[in-house]
Amino acid sequence: MRHTLPIAPQFYVTAPQPCPYLDGRMERKLFTALQGDGVEQLNNSLSQQGFRRSQNVLYRPSCSDCSACLSARIDVSKFSPSRGQKRTLKRNQSLQRRATSPWATEDQYALFRTYLDSRHADGGMADMDVFEYAAMIEETPIRTRVVEYTDGDSSALTAVSLTDVLDDGLSMVYSFYRPDVPQRSLGTFMILDHIDIAKEAGLPYIYLGYWVPGSQKMGYKAKFNGLEVYTRGQWQPMDDPDAFNDMADPLMTDPIAEQVANIHLPDTRSARR
C-alpha cells in the first residue's frame, strides 16, 4: 500500500472503446493524474507534448493501430482571419465577453444541456447531470477561467468556453453554445476571440484539442491558418491537411512503452521546496 505520492507521475492506458471520429476504429488513451506538487509545470509540459486536461487528469490518444488524433494549436503570430472568419466576427460583434473563476451556474448548465441534446445526443457526455457538469468546470488544480459570451441586447448567455491559462498560451478545454443559430458560427467566433485574448496577454498559442485527418467533425480546425499539429514528437505546420493521412496507418503507431519513455517531464524539485 502506497502512503505517499510518487515523485514521478505514473502513466496508465484506458481499455479500448469505439472511436468517435473514425468508423471501425478503436481508441484508447494514455493518461496520468494531475496532482501533487508542480501541477502547473506538469500541465504546461505535457500540454506542449500533445496532452489535454480533463478535470484532474491529463490524457493523450494512444491507439494500438492508429495515430490519426493530432494535438492542434494556432500560432497566434502567423494567424490572419479569412474573409469568412471576418464575417463571423462581424455577425457576433454584439456579444460581450466576461471571464470568471471556474464556477458552474444554472444558466451554463441549461445552455450545456441544450447544446448536447442538439449536437451530441449520442456522445459520451450526453448523460452528464448538473453535478457532473459542476465537476467538469470546478475540479481544476491549475489556472482556469470560464469565458462567457452574452448577447448585448438581451444579456442572454450565448456561448461558454472552459479555458486553461498555460505558460505559452490558452487551452480551450471545452466549449458550447446556442445550437439554434448556426449562421453565427459561434464555435469559430470563440476561437477567434481567444486569439484576440492571447494577443492582448502576449501568449503565443491557442490549443484547440485534437484534429483528426479524415474526420468531418474536426474539419473546422483546418480552416485556421497558422495551425500546427503535434506529430512524431514535435510541432509541425499544417499547410496541407492531406499530408497527414498516413497517420491512420497501423505502422505509424509506436509501442506504449516507447511512447512513455519519450515523454519529457519537468523538473518539479523547486516546486517542492
Give the neighbor-by-neighbor strand order of the sheet with 70-75: 95-100, 144-151, 157-166, 169-177, 205-211, 70-75, 227-231, 234-237
Decide if domain 72-247 falls under CATH 1.20.1530.20. no
Cβ 265 vs Cβ 45: under 8 Å: yes
Residue 170 backbone phi and psi in degrees, to 5: -115, 135
- Determine the residue type at 264: H
Question: For every one of its 273 residues, what pLDDT tens digit does the chain have, with 9 covering 90 and above?
Answer: 444 445 578 999 999 999 888 888 889 999 999 988 899 999 999 999 999 999 999 999 998 888 889 999 999 999 999 999 999 999 999 999 999 999 999 999 999 999 998 876 566 677 889 999 999 999 999 999 999 999 987 889 999 999 999 999 999 999 999 999 999 999 999 999 999 999 999 999 999 999 988 788 788 899 999 999 998 889 999 988 888 887 777 777 788 888 888 899 987 555 444
Would you give the distance in Å from CA 244 to the centre of its chain? 20
Indicate the pTM of the whole model: 0.91
> Domain coordinates of the chain in residue numbers?
12-69+248-272, 72-247
Cβ 57 vs Cβ 47: under 8 Å: no
